[in-house]
Amino acid sequence: MPDLRIMVQKYGGTSVGSAERIKAVAERIKTYVKNGFSVVVVVSAMGKTTDELVSLASQITAQPSSREMDMLLSTGEQVSIALLAMALHEIGIDAISYTGSQIKVLTDGNFTRAKIESISTDRIMKSLRENKVVIVAGFQGIDNEENITTLGRGGSDTSAVALAAVLRTRDCEIYTDVNGVYTADPRIIGQPIKLSQVSYDEMLELARLGAAVLHSRSVEFAKKHNIRLHVRSSFNYEEGTIVMPKEEMMEKYVISGVTAKRDEAKITIRDIPDRPGIAARVFGLLGENKIYVNMIVQSTGKDNKASVSFTVLKSDLDRAVKLCEGLKKELGASAVEAKQNIAIVSAVGVGMLSSYGVAGKIFQVLSEQNINIEMISTSEIGISCVIDDVYAELAQKVIHRAFIDMEQQ
Ligand code: ASP
Ligand code: MG
């Protein structure tokens, strides 16, 4: 396809949230067409449409069939693709909309969280060659029996990146309602910095640790296919943030993001025997009961006894505590304790791979505020501390100040 300069763009729900917004998006697309691009546009459902559809279903049943859920949720995107095509026609731009099934976005059969397996480029290429803007419904596909599937909430990002991959474009624009990826949540840190570049791994780590800007699978896909994602606002023409391979980055911070996750709770099982099989028993049982466990810290004490602390989603806490209470006797544990009010505050950055003393400095700034660290875990490019939830904002501020504000001076 060397003859066409293809640009894949994705517009999120807020960007197409009203008729006015859809017209504004059409104008933006027009500038790309005038500049010689063959534009492929992926759109989300308008505004909060998907949430409203979820809520409608819940008014009918507490346990909707997942096939029917996908049938329902996929309708949101069908509305926005048609309206955007009309808005383009209205300003003299030829355009055609397609559902996932029309361009054969084939997925596995896991309703509500399907994975894309292939996309046919035939129909898209034919329309592009006819000088049409191609508008594709994000978030949806079909399985091999032509059932409609969806890719999980926020999945339009992944639709866009998958299209960029099959159309072999290096760049993909993701339009949203913020100017890019910031070093922290602006509601907490007054003036975080907008990153001009960030690596795939940092984006995945930021999402895992509570700062979800993009659908994680879209970032994995982009990494695998070496696609640069330009995350930017559809409300202005400023440059946003490029999500890219770390080897190509010109700008690297030691820490490029500070996050807090406040949806988890901590459980501690005290004085369990320090011998093989105990952890397997506890976490095996939690796993069998589909309880997602995040951080795990074991500490050994006296007399061959150990304590183990771990975090689970707050929504699973009661169930998890009951299961652990049930094991107390079998394990000979002295207590099962639960704490709801925790926050997991993390710092993420590829620069950590090549700097010393990052963990020490984080612990230092927390201790200066008398913040007690209850658990610590690290990954290659992330350090996370469990602290009392009352300090969640303060902790993010002091870490941000120590690493990011300081580096800027
Ligand atoms: N409309 C879907 C959602 O709200 C998909 C998306 O926006 O990416 O989750
Ligand atoms: Mg969205």
Task: Name the closest-CA residue to atom 5, ligand 1.
Answer: 154
Nearest to 227, CA basis, from 208, 263, 203: 203
Q: Yes or no: say if 143 and 108 are a contact pair by the CB < 8 Å rule.
A: yes
Highest mean pLDDT: which range of 40-44, 183-187, 296-300 = 40-44
- Residue 303: pLDDT band by 50, 70, 90 thresholds? confident
Task: Pick the ligand that lies closest to the CA of residue 50.
Answer: 1
In the chain, the percentage of residues whose pLDDT exceeds 70 is 99
Query: 3-class SS at 232?
Result: strand
Model pLDDT, residue 406: 77
Domain 342-408 has CATH 3.30.2130.10: yes
Distance in angstroms (rounded) separating the CA atoms of residues 116 and 81? 20
Question: pLDDT by residue (tens digit) across 336-346?
Answer: 999 999 999 99
Ligand 1 atom having least distance to the Cα of 152: 9
Nearest to 137, CA basis, from 74, 230, 214, 58: 74
Would you list the domain boundaries of the chain?
6-177, 264-338, 342-408
Ligand 1 atom having least distance to the Cα of 215: 8
Distance 371 CA to ligand 2 centre (A): 35
Rounded to two decimals, what is the model's pTM? 0.92
Residue 284, pLDDT above cutoff 50: yes
Distance 355 CA to ligand 2 centre (A): 36
Q: Domain 264-338's class?
A: alpha beta
- 375 vs 409 pLDDT, higher one: 375
Report CA dihedral (83, 86, 88, 90) to the nearest 10 degrees.
-130
Q: Which fold has domain 6-177?
A: Carbamate kinase (3.40.1160)
Model pLDDT, residue 408: 67
For 180-215, b/e burial (b = at least 16 CB within 10 A) is bbbbbbeebbeebbbbebbbbbbbbbbbbbbbebbb
Pocket test residue of 48, 51, 55, 73 for ligand 1, highest count of atoms within 8 A of CB: 73
Determine how many CB atoms are found less than 10 A away from the CB of residue 374: 18
Distance 380 CA to ligand 1 centre (A): 31
Q: How much is the average pLDDT of 376-398?
A: 96
Q: Which residues have CB under 6 Å of ligand 1?
A: 12-13, 44-45, 50, 76, 138-139, 153-156
Task: Pick the ligand that lies closest to the CA of residue 112.
Answer: 1
Q: How much is the average pLDDT of 95-118?
A: 97
Distance 302 CA to ligand 1 centre (A): 52
Model pLDDT, residue 295: 94
Distance 260 CA to ligand 2 centre (A): 21
In the chain, the percentage of residues whose pLDDT exceeds 90 is 89
The overall average pLDDT reported for the chain is 95
Q: List CB-based neighbours of ion ligand 2 within 5 Å.
A: 12-13, 44, 154
Pocket test residue of 139, 158, 213, 216 for ligand 1, highest count of atoms within 8 A of CB: 139
Task: Pick the ligand that lies closest to the CA of residue 156.
Answer: 1
Question: pLDDT by residue (tens digit) across 120-177?
Answer: 999 999 999 999 999 999 999 999 999 999 999 999 999 999 999 999 999 999 999 9
Q: How much is the average pLDDT of 237-242?
A: 96
Model pLDDT, residue 14: 97
Residue 391, pLDDT above cutoff 80: yes
Distance 87 CA to ligand 1 centre (A): 21
Ligand 1 atom having least distance to the Cα of 51: 4
Model pLDDT, residue 1: 46
Fill in the amino acid letter for 327: L
Distance 256 CA to ligand 1 centre (A): 27
Nearest to 73, CA basis, from 52, 43, 42: 52
Task: Name the closest-CA residue to atom 6, ligand 1.
Answer: 154
Question: pLDDT by residue (tens digit) across 203-217?
Answer: 999 999 999 889 999
Model pLDDT, residue 409: 58
- Residue 299: pLDDT band by 50, 70, 90 thresholds? confident
